[in-house]
Structure 1
């Protein structure tokens, strides 16, 4: 009976040259994903655009799902390093400001945003390093905005940011599908943050 190959975990770049190739791949995927979306984009085209061998691309990103989760992860990392908005309001406002700003940046390129969200959904089923790191990075940004921080976060805090994160993803999908406008999305995100986070983080109910 033929042996069934196990899913391989993506390699992690360590040297300066590897990190440079890795970033070129993400940049190429962002460009081509914005033009063609997840399904129509070809991995060979990404390798050519990035100036790397196809084997190098697959070493770091075994599938298009891994690749676009990597693109999402890179955007989240930039969000954490340079917050787009410094809120002067409540903790719920701070989280809403971050999510709204991030949503606006993503939706500038709708096909790329759709590709990242599709990849993120698919990655939930198999996990993997890119998905785990992307999730952890996003949760860290939100916990910091809540004034908690990862080190002091309790199980309830992680559940709260997961719920807010999934709500935000759902709102973005509604915009991409033409169900609601960007203005309505902003109002929905702010209301969700107020209702979900306000009682615990702004009204002293966090025990």
Structure 2
């Protein structure tokens, strides 16, 4: 019988050994999630691959929603660590375009895993998953940094939020088979230009 998702929060590791176990779980879920869709992933299968007890798995991840949202958060952090700083002289909209295209290509190399991560992070009980906050905050910081915005205004944050929502929608279209990679890249380029170029132009226009 399938285990009913718990409403409790995930436990946080507090020792090196616990951090190692949690990391093994994430790695196992990433591998298995790349091979089969979310509904076919079994928690006991992940526990076995991670070499942890099933109770340990549920302690850190009360449901598959928690688990694959955490996988997505881990992927975002790894992407942040691999991103080079923006090249000097590049317009913010172009720098962010390059960033989102690179992230799209990385995610869509494993479309089955990407679909599971997006499905989990958009689940109805996502409010119980603290990693969703981490995903949003980390990606917002990545985009702002790539755009060269060190002290964002409320409008900057709103523009980035709109851009992220647009990007998620574009990726979902690809995962649903409704958009090709070239269409994705064109849509990303257009969204960045529409949302970020006005800010860039405002900064370079001399005041009167």
The 1-side partners of 2:191 and 2:24 are apart by 36
The answer as to 2:58 corresponding to 1:58 is yes
Quote the RMSD (CA, aligned, Å).
Answer: 2.1
The 1-side partners of 2:132 and 2:195 are apart by 24
Identify if the C-alpha distance between structure 1 residues 99 and 124 changes in structure 2 by more than 3 Å, giving closer, same or farther: farther
Q: How does 1:103-122 map to 2 (within 5 A)?
A: 103-122=104-123
Q: How does 1:34-183 map to 2 (within 5 A)?
A: 34-83=34-83, 86-87=86-87, 89-122=90-123, 125-149=126-150, 152-183=151-182
Matched residue SS, 1:35: coil
Structure 2 segments unaligned to the other structure (5+ residues):
1-5
The 1-side partners of 2:14 and 2:200 are apart by 39
The 1-side partners of 2:49 and 2:141 are apart by 32
* Equivalent residues, number: 200
Instruction: Give TM-score, length-normalised by structure 2.
Output: 0.89
User: Is the CA contact 2:86–2:146 (under 8 Å) kept in the aligned structure 1?
Assistant: no
User: Is the CA contact 2:86–2:95 (under 8 Å) kept in the aligned structure 1?
Assistant: yes
| Aligned position for 1:18 | 18
CA shift for structure 1 position 86? 4.2
Between 1:75-84 and 1:168-177, the stretch displaced more is 75-84
CA shift for structure 1 position 44? 0.7
The 2-side partners of 1:123 and 1:13 are apart by 25
CA shift for structure 1 position 9? 0.9
User: Is the CA contact 2:126–2:132 (under 8 Å) kept in the aligned structure 1?
Assistant: no
CA shift for structure 1 position 14? 2.4
The 2-side partners of 1:154 and 1:124 are apart by 31
Deviations 1:34-81 (A, max 9, x none): 111111101111101111111111111111111111111111111212
Instruction: Give TM-score, length-normalised by structure 1.
Output: 0.89
Identify if the C-alpha distance between structure 1 residues 72 and 84 changes in structure 2 by more than 3 Å, giving closer, same or farther: farther
| Aligned position for 2:191 | 192
Structure 1 segments unaligned to the other structure (5+ residues):
1-5
